[in-house]
Structure 1
């Protein structure tokens, strides 16, 4: 069995949800793996991000967002309004705020350290809920070396957190023979 890992680093815009269409990168990773039959898992370790599978929408708004993404944003805004102030949601409470401030003081050379630049960046409860609703991963079948997503299916990574720009990781693991 072949197990092949790779990672994409994607930069969020920091002022609205950041969508990244990553289909070609996933195809490239599958090809590099030399797996003919198996699966590919596309995942994010970030609790305010999601990986999802959707049809490519050729039309875009002035921000460059596909219309299906705009529609998704509008639906989610109705269900989970963007966090605009503290106490709009229970989260983050005083214990979480203290934890975030304490962990920000730890050694920043350690990979994976969470850096909270200011308290405002903790006002991302909507991003956590949206990430929970859409999920952190997708799994696709590989047959004859080709990811089985049809002709109109595309793979997307989205960072729901609008509090600041930052680099995000998307992990890709291919398993098979």
Structure 2
């Protein structure tokens, strides 16, 4: 049996957003009636990623946990923020910007989200987990995170769950 579900999330400008979606996934598994199988969690957006990490109890004053701060710092070293159009990156080129008939410089935010695309490519768009006797196999401290690296504007985001088994 296969069950498809969606989780909807919302970001605000202008920060990287991390969402712990573990409890939502566990609830969807329980609702599915599937006892043994797998669940695949996939982002539907190219500036977002899904990853598996320990739940951390320490966070900064903005509510970002220490592992997320470290991840952001390390990824920023690999993919520095874009502060001016085509400062560090080729993306987006004029053909991409004109795809929908928009002049190249109509929306500067798009021209600054190249690093978000690269970060999500590096982390990955999906993760698959085992379900054993109705329980998500994530260990005692494991959490499943959805991250939106695009800081250019508020967004409504989705990830899809494919729960597969018997």
TM-score range, shorter chain: over 0.9
Q: Structure 1 stretches of 5 or more lacking a match? A: 105-117
Q: Kindly state the Cα deviation for residue 14 of structure 1 after the two structures are TM-superposed.
A: 2.4
2:58 and 2:108 mapped to 1: Cα distance? 33
Q: Tell whether 2:27 aligns with 1:28.
A: yes
Does the 8 Å CA contact 1:14/1:161 hold for their aligned counterparts? no
Give the distance between the partners of 2:54 and 2:143, measured in 1 at CA: 6
Structure 2 gaps of 5+ residues are none
Aligned: 1:144 with 2:125: no
After superposition, the CA RMSD in angstroms is: 1.0
Three-state SS of the structure 2 residue aligned to 1:140 is strand
- Taking the TM superposition and a 5 Å limit, the aligned residue runs for 1:116-131 are 118-122=106-110, 123-131=112-120
Q: Using structure 2 for the length normalisation, give the TM-score.
A: 0.94
The aligned length equals: 161
TM-score normalised by the chain length of structure 1? 0.88
Q: 1:14, 1:140 → 2: CA distance? A: 31
Q: Distance in 1 between matches of 2:82 and 2:13?
A: 14
Distance 1:18 1:67 in 2: 14
- Deviating 4+ runs (over 6 angstroms): none
The match for 2:84 is 85
